[in-house]
Amino acid sequence: MTTSRRGRGHRSPLTAALGLARACHAGPTAAVTVLTAALATASGRDAAGCAAVAAAVLAGQLSIGWCNDAVDAGRDRAAGRADKPIVGGAVGGRTVWAAAIVALALCVPLSLASGPAAGAVHLAGVGAAWAYDLGLKATVLSWVPYAVGFGSLPAFVALGLPERPWPAWWAVLAAALLGCGAHLANVLPDISDDLATGVRGWPQRLGPARVRALIPLPLLAATGLLVLAPDGSPGAAGWAALAAACAFAAAGPLLGGRSPRAPFAAAIAVAAVDVLLLLAQGTGITAP
């Protein structure tokens, strides 16, 4: 405890800033922001609209990541997670909480800049993610916030268009399935630590072996929807995308023994394939 207090007393602003950057879960934050901005581009939103989408999603993801690390600080400390910025003393827990609240406050006007309906949908997704961080992660319903959060993104993009159209059902369902796959892959490396600290969400109850085997299924189902559900023939590009998604989804669990983060990286790769599908065939947005 003495060492921790001394570390906090000598923490420089640069150290705290770097700690905040690490605490925001930069990889997933950047991936979700970039992929949603690409979806906005594919939907036909102009530069200002795409910037508004990116800013809102970035603020929301930052708030979610910081909230997650702030809430989990006690469990991370009990598990000896010195790699975590708060536990390692790089940044204080109050600072991370303050950053999360500020980012959440900024997310509200940034989301509503796309219109009330679009903003409400995005804020519902961000709210679901906060519910996960604040306790739902330790229940059998831990997958629900991921499904709601990811599923809200196509609707957020579509409802921000001038005509306020709804996205196609298969686009929303595919995004929700991607969210479920991302949840499984993200939790997999930490299942042992989670169980030791009392977190018993859906993946923790399944156990590592079952989670590793299950991860490819929602990801492939999502890609299959995007390739096969739209009207018309998938074409060579669609079949190639499906084959690539199969390869990525299979590689994640196979490489999981060498790198515990491999399944999550594979989930992001499959999500990227799906965004490329949307860019090639349209977003599935239909007129109201």
Among the ranges 131-140, 223-232, 257-266, 274-283, which has the highest mean pLDDT value? 131-140
Note whether residue 194 is domain-resident. yes
- pLDDT score at 4: 42
Give me the mean pLDDT over the 99-105 stretch.
Answer: 97
**Which amino acid type is present at position 201?**
G
**By the 8 A CB rule, do 203 and 183 touch?**
yes
Note whether residue 113 is domain-resident. yes
pLDDT in tens, 17-48: 888 899 999 988 998 999 899 888 888 889 99
Number of independent structural domains in the chain? 1
Intra-chain end-to-end CA distance of the chain, in Å: 60
- pLDDT score at 273: 86
> What is the reported pTM?
0.86
- pLDDT score at 6: 41
CA–CA distance from 262 to each of 2, 143, 252 (Å)?
37, 20, 5
Look up the domain containing 169 and give its range: 2-281
- pLDDT score at 193: 84
DSSP conformation letters of 12-74: -HHHHHHHHHHHT-HHHHHHHHHHHHHHHHHHT--HHHHHHHHHHHHHHHHHHHHHHHHHHHH
Note whether residue 288 is domain-resident. no
Q: What is the mean pLDDT of the chain?
A: 87
For the domain that residue 60 is a member of, what is the CATH number?
1.10.600
Cβ neighbours of residue 34 under 8 Å, at least 6 residues apart?
54
Note whether residue 286 is domain-resident. no
- pLDDT score at 106: 98
**DSSP letter assigned to residue 208:** H
Q: Is the pLDDT of residue 58 over 80?
A: yes
Total residues belonging to the chain: 288
Note whether residue 287 is domain-resident. no
